[in-house]
Amino acid sequence: EDQVTQSPEALRLQEGESSSLNCSYTVSGLRGLFWYRQDPGKGPEFLFTLYSAGEEKEKERLKATLTKKESFLHITAPKPEDSATYLCAVQAPAGNKLTFGGGTRVLVKP
Amino acid sequence: GAVVSQHPSRVICKSGTSVKIECRSLDFQATTMFWYRQFPKQSLMLMATSNEGSKATYEQGVEKDKFLINHASLTLSTLTVTSAHPEDSSFYICSAGRDRRNQPQHFGDGTRLSIL
């Protein structure tokens, strides 16, 4: 059974204070690892797809990296608008179902 | 990015009412649509997967007679919560995807269902 664990559950940052979020996964053959951002009362917004160990993707202040067992989402010099819940999900080879982690709630204070 | 429209965004109704939620893929043909349920401060739990023109596949523990799913076209899927009760109150979110490697699912903005 696919498993995804995210840590920490919550993260409080000062504006400009860089940090990293962790997503550890167990899957029988990774088809893709996805990062989403979710604002309160909204659906998840797609950020990145990673497939191969060593792969990196960047978007503004966010950078996602992937190893064979985990992925990191690095937030560089965050701003208050980066406050959200960040969700990690893995896609197994069979079909295109996603298994989500519990998410990391990030609060960036000005 | 791709746009998925979900309607309504909020429903408040009496116990025993059936509620239909629509999910539309606006700018691509979705071979598969997914329905999730999310409890406060928790992650998304997959309820069912629906493919256009075929019966939905439900996850373990999800009552198919309670949560009716119809995927009549490549751009529309509906979830009907039949005879809803207070314990069915939740945030329901749909997503649409294409059956291609590394293609992300794109999510609607969810429906907040409150059963009185």
**pLDDT tens digit sequence for A85-98:** 999 999 877 767 89
Q: What's the half-sphere exposure (Cβ side, CA atoms, 13 Å) at B45?
A: 14
Phi, psi of B87 (to 5 degrees): -70, -10
Whether A64 and chain B come into contact, CB under 8 Å, resolves to: no
**CB-based contacts of B52, cutoff 8 Å, min separation 6:** B30, B31, B32, B71, B72, B73, B74
Q: How confident is the model at residue A21 (pLDDT cuts 50, 70, 90)?
A: very high
The mean pLDDT of chain A is 94
Interval B89-107: pLDDT, tens:
999 999 998 766 667 899 9
Q: Going by DSSP bridges, is the β-strand pair B67-73/B76-81 parallel, antiparallel, or unpaired?
A: antiparallel
The mean pLDDT of chain B is 91
pLDDT at B54: 82
Nearest chain B Cα to A86, which residue? Answer: B43
Whether B108 and chain A come into contact, CB under 8 Å, resolves to: yes
How far is the alpha carbon of B106 from chain A, nearest alpha carbon, in Å?
A: 7
Whether A25 and chain B come into contact, CB under 8 Å, resolves to: no
Side chain identity, residue A38 = Q
How far is the alpha carbon of A3 from chain B, nearest alpha carbon, in Å?
A: 13
Sign of the alpha-carbon dihedral angle for A63, A65, A71, A72: negative
